Chains A and B, each alone.
Chain A
Amino acid sequence: MKLQREVFIVGVGETVFGRRKEDYDALGREAAFKAIKDAKISRPDMIQSAYVGNAHNGIVTGQTIFKDLGMCGKTPIINVESACSAGAMAVHLAIKDVATGLTEISMGVGAENHTLRRQKGTAFTPAMNDIEAVHGGVMTGKYSMRATRYMYERGATIEDFAMITVKNRKHATHNPHALYRGEVSIEEVVNSRMIAYPMTLHQCCAISDGAGAVVVCSKEMVKKLGIEKPVKVAGSVVTSGPYHNGPRDITGDDITEMTTEMLYKESGVGPKEVNILELHDAFTIAELLYYECMQLCGKGEGLKFLRDGQSTYGGQCVVSPRGGMLAYGHPIGASGAAQIAANVKQLRGQCGGYQVEPIPKVAMSHVTGGGLSGTEHAACTMHMLVKGW
């Protein structure tokens, strides 16, 4: 999608992520209201369209969230589902409305509560009409197969994978929104319970609950609202996963590679210019693969990139500065929107205690979505944000 006119993010909100007693609608409302107030919006009818990403919590989730904000009856509300990509897709659709001139102000929300509804001690599974799911396929297995092949071809160790958890939780040390924060040792990560070899418990994102929300608007509306630090949307790309039934390299990820190419082209931003990146670190191996898929380094150099500290403070690109999914957990419909909210706060320099220095000017985010046989992922959504003031 080429943006037909400039679109800016003027308000964001996120909840504390963790095992929450509040259901998805209360969480979504909290994040949405924060974003609305952040955008200095004073009346519900100013928001001309709203999209809500959710995966598991039922029907009419968006209307349930927005009813108490007085938006039902005033705003068209559309619910979006693509597993882990849902929240980012909701933001994409809001951007699209403003970019095409259909609306002046729109918003995207991602919200999910798993812990009130899921069976403990089981793994996320593709839908049961999927041939791999029938045969026992689970997301942990899919990523563990990637990790196993990566170890076989590249000589990586479990300790290498564990470095990602250690790094991301360190980034989250002073982030009040994160579930897991601060010091954890490589030994603790490696010796935690085995989920699917070589992915141990602390290498897998936790099941958690939360929400994120993003308000977008036109350039004209930025002025009317009196927003001093608007964040410009340089690119917003949604793709679906290519289907193939043949051998392919799973130490790469075709859909992420394709979406990244499109995003760089659309935004005019190159991989070396990205200061911070929130990506789909649902499992440690994923972050490691994506360094190469997103061209932060060359093919075959991902392990070196990690070991050299290029993905943390002082490196080429701070990856998962909020702590990523390994620190937040991963309420699957919420994460994509929450990543964007966190990136906006970093660009504005509002992340006291976990602010990346120098204050970043370019932020990228990435969520894939869904297990679907014959694809690496069913969906992928990426955003490029730049300082707009």
Chain B
Amino acid sequence: MADDKKKKDKEPDMTFFHPDLLEAPKDGSAPYLKGYRCKKCGKLDFPKLSPCPLCWGEDFEMVPLSRKGKLYSFADIYIGQPGMNTPYIVGYIDLPEDIRIFAQLDGEVQTFKCDEDVELTTGPIRMNQDGLPIISYKFKKAN
């Protein structure tokens, strides 16, 4: 009977974004973003692109990126993506390694300012298809 037919087991959806990009140690030590330096031309990239868009090199070494940066600009979003709770805040964070990160910001709307210091944190960025939060990198005001 059709009812007895077992549904195909679905792979559980992602709950952590993304082990290649973010290390969140279980021992409680501070999380960090993973940059990738091309062994051929020395270009440091985040996120990892393979091959290296500058020289097509295919070998990289992982480099932990600075946890603090400057908030270049930001947006308090009141009408967002389908399925996302609003308001939420996004911003561009410039790291000392000359890398710009796009991330959600932890905090209240109408409180952020351009060029203020922010630091890395982790937290839910959205729900996955199974209704569970996806944990990823975020930034918050630096202490």
* Residue positions of A touching B, CB distance < 8 A: 119, 121-123, 125, 131-138, 140-142, 144-146, 148-149, 152, 193-197, 243, 245-248, 250, 373
Contact = CB atoms under 8 A, between A and B. Distances in A.
B47 A136 contact: no
Nearest to B88: A136
A193 B86 CA distance: 14
Given A119-B82, A134-B125, A136-B90, A196 B77 contact: yes
A136 B114 contact: no
Contacts of A148: 73-75, 114
Size bin of chain B's contact surface? 35 or more
A248 B73 CA distance: 11
Given A144-B75, A145-B75, A135 B136 contact: yes
Contact of B114 (A134, A135, A142, A149): A149
Contact of A136 (B73, B77, B109, B110): B77
A230 B17 CA distance: 55
A297 B130 CA distance: 52
Interface string B4-17: 00000000000001
Interface stretch (B23-31, B55-63, B100-108): B100-108
20 contacts: A122-B80, A122-B82, A125-B81, A134-B125, A134-B126, A135-B103, A136-B80, A136-B84, A136-B125, A138-B77, A141-B90, A142-B75, A145-B90, A152-B113, A195-B79, A196-B75, A196-B78, A196-B79, A247-B72, A250-B73
B77 to A, nearest CB: 5
A135 B125 contact: yes
Nearest to A248: B100
A138 to B, nearest CB: 6
Nearest to A148: B73
A123 B99 CA distance: 27
Interface string B36-72: 0000000001110000010000000000000000001
B3 interface: no
Given A122-B81, A123-B79, A196-B78, A247 B94 contact: yes
A140 B46 contact: no
A246 B53 CA distance: 14
B119 interface: no
Contacts of A195: 78-79
A211 to B, nearest CB: 25
Given A140-B77, A196-B79, 7 more contacts: A119-B82, A133-B81, A135-B136, A140-B79, A145-B73, A149-B73, A197-B110
Given A122-B81, A195-B78, A137 B114 contact: no
Given A135-B103, A135-B136, A123 B80 contact: yes
Nearest to B78: A194
Nearest to B93: A247
A374 to B, nearest CB: 9
Contacts of A141: 75, 77, 90
A132 B102 contact: yes
A195 to B, nearest CB: 5
Given A122-B79, A195-B78, A137 B72 contact: no
Contacts of A149: 72-73, 114
Contacts of A194: 76, 78
A137 to B, nearest CB: 6
Interface string B107-143: 0011001110000000001100000001010000000
A243 B98 CA distance: 14
Given A123-B80, A125-B81, A135-B136, A373 B75 contact: no
Contact of B99 (A138, A142, A193, A246): A246
Closest 10 CB pairs of A and B: A144-B75, A149-B73, A145-B73, A152-B114, A141-B75, A122-B82, A197-B76, A132-B102, A247-B94, A196-B77
B78 A373 contact: no
B92 interface: yes
A146 B73 contact: yes
A185 to B, nearest CB: 22
A199 B2 CA distance: 53
Contact of B102 (A131, A144, A193, A247): A131
B82 to A, nearest CB: 4
A135 to B, nearest CB: 5
A144 B109 CA distance: 14
Contacts of A250: 72-73, 92
A122 B84 CA distance: 9
Contacts of A193: 78
